[in-house]
Structure 1
Amino acid sequence: MNKPLNIDEYITGFPANVQQLLEQLRAIIKAAAPQATEVISYAMPAFKQHTVLVYFAGYANHIGFYPTSSGIEAFKEEFTARNYKWSKGAVQFPLNQPLPAELITRIVKFRLNQDMEKAKAKKK
């Protein structure tokens, strides 16, 4: 896949079932952070306010969600309880399961709060 210029272009490079989940994830993120801007960063879709809040990506068997290490750290017990594979900076949502919209929303709002606090601290 060539480096996409925008999120629409990124999503169209996947099979229909993955496109549907990527669009659903995009909508969840937009609803949780309506002022955030869509960008492509590290060749992945991302949402940015003052800094990048979250990234996401499609794969053959899962959707990768990257809420930075702080987002993973804050929710790692929930990832473990739901049997999601996760690492220091990412969590995997299997393609054969519904996206956990409520959990994703809470993670995005957590990251949005961190972003706003960081921006306020810079202004001081």
Structure 2
Amino acid sequence: MWKCPKCGREFKNTEQDHFCVKPNSIDEYIAAQPEDVRPLLQSIRETIRAAAPEATEKISWQMPTFWQGENLVHFAAFKKHIGLYPGGEVTSKFAERLAGYKTSKGAIQLLLGKPIDYELITDIVRWRVNQEAKRSDTL
């Protein structure tokens, strides 16, 4: 067992990523991240905001989240990457453009130290907004 020296919580994995204090806002989340990652997170936030201007910002699953009728996209910082979580269908819909990324169902890893494709993020978020709008129209 590994014990966090800051908060005292115990984890099975050594150096387990976690929050010592749960963030209440995206600003708090970003402020709690390493200094070199904060500008990247802020740029991702601004990119998502521009692509989904009507979405509401919140923390869900302890991650920054944009909500518009449903969770459109989450993002989170990790030791070696930033995770983008736009949902299950995105990785198949954008498979060609995601060829150079590590993905799993509904998750995309943006490696730290490599350029971030903000145009790709914009396109994914706009697609998610359109999918949610279609879903809402059928309800």
For the superposition of Structure 1 and Structure 2, which TM-score range results when normalised by the shorter chain? over 0.9
User: Residues 63-88 of structure 1: CA distance to partner in whole angstroms, max 9, x if unpaired?
Assistant: 100010012221122111xx211111
Runs of 4+ in 1 over 6 A off after TM superposition: none
- 1:21 aligned onto 2:40: yes
Residues matched between the structures, number: 120
- 1:35 aligned onto 2:73: no
Where do 1:40-79 residues align within 5 Å? 40-79=59-98
User: Residues 78-119 of structure 1: CA distance to partner in whole angstroms, max 9, x if unpaired?
Assistant: 111xx2111111010111012101110000000000011111
Q: What is the rounded CA distance, in whole Å, between the counterparts of 1:74 and 1:53 in structure 2? A: 15
Report which of the two has the higher share of helix: 1
From the CA coordinates, give the structure whose radius of gyration is larger.
Answer: 2
Q: What is the rounded CA distance, in whole Å, between the counterparts of 1:47 and 1:31 in structure 2? A: 11
Ranges in structure 2 where 5+ consecutive residues have no aligned partner: 1-18
- 1:104 aligned onto 2:115: no
Ranges in structure 1 where 5+ consecutive residues have no aligned partner: none
What does residue 113 of structure 1 align with?
130
3-state DSSP class of the match of 2:22?
A: coil
Q: What is the rounded CA distance, in whole Å, between the counterparts of 1:39 and 1:71 in structure 2? A: 21
Deviation at 1:51, TM superposition (A): 0.6
Q: What is the rounded CA distance, in whole Å, between the counterparts of 1:30 and 1:59 in structure 2? A: 21
Q: What is the rounded CA distance, in whole Å, between the counterparts of 2:119 and 2:35 in structure 1? A: 23
What does residue 5 of structure 1 align with?
24
Q: State the one-letter code of the partner of 2:50.
A: A
3-state DSSP class of the match of 1:56?
A: strand
3-state DSSP class of the match of 1:76?
A: coil
* RMSD of aligned residue pairs (Cα, Å): 0.8
